[in-house]
């Protein structure tokens, strides 16, 4: 992970992608999501990381962007690197909560599903960090 030449964005390198993937696999094992067929991509995507899924077929793709926009509150690469593990856990939680997400989306809408699922995800990401798993 490094700044690009004009320091306008963060370059996500292959080793970052490998770390992200390994962290995802760790959580997939811990949470017992091994019955899913999960592919990984490292490509230009609209978010820093994202997950798409089909709950019916239990097929998912977890992606990591090749560039990240700079954050106001982050000063150095170390702070961005710390995010990588959080994003991996975050994306695996999307799989864990995929059926909940789909159910909320069917009953209400995508915004409600995004809001409710992310409320749970951020509480878990921040909570688990405190016990240092
Ligand atoms: Zn999310």
Task: State the distance from the centre of ligand 1 to the C-alpha of 121, rounded, in angstroms.
Answer: 7
Per-residue confidence (pLDDT) for residue 31, from 0 to 100: 97
The stretches in the chain having pLDDT less than 50 are none
Per-residue confidence (pLDDT) for residue 93, from 0 to 100: 98
Cβ neighbours of residue 40 closer than 8 Å, sequence gap 6 or more: 17, 21, 24, 61, 62, 63, 64
Per-residue confidence (pLDDT) for residue 109, from 0 to 100: 97
Task: State the distance from the centre of ligand 1 to the C-alpha of 104, rounded, in angstroms.
Answer: 15
Per-residue confidence (pLDDT) for residue 110, from 0 to 100: 97
Say what the pTM is.
0.93
Task: State the distance from the centre of ligand 1 to the C-alpha of 14, rounded, in angstroms.
Answer: 22
> In this structure, are residues 28 and 51 in contact, taking their beta carbons and an 8 Å threshold?
no
Per-residue confidence (pLDDT) for residue 133, from 0 to 100: 63
Task: State the distance from the centre of ligand 1 to the C-alpha of 100, rounded, in angstroms.
Answer: 13
Task: State the distance from the centre of ligand 1 to the C-alpha of 91, rounded, in angstroms.
Answer: 6
> What is the domain partition of the chain in residue ranges?
2-131
The CATH code for residues 2-131 is 3.30.2010
């Amino acid at each position: 992970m490094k700044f690009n030449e004009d320091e306008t964005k963060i370059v996500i390198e292959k080793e970052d992608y490998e770390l992200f993937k390994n962290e995802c696999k760790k959580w997939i094992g811990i949470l017992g999501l091994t019955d899913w067929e999960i592919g990984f991509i490292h490509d230009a995507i609209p978010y820093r990381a994202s997950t798409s899924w089909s709950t019916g077929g239990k097929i998912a793709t977890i992606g990591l962007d090749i560039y990240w926009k700079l954050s106001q509150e982050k000063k150095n690469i170390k702070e961005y690197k710390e995010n990588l593990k959080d994003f991996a856990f975050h994306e695996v939680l999307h799989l864990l909560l995929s059926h909940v997400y789909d159910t909320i989306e069917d009953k209400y809408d995508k915004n409600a599903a995004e809001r409710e699922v992310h409320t749970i995800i951020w509480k878990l990401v921040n909570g688990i960090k405190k016990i240092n798993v």
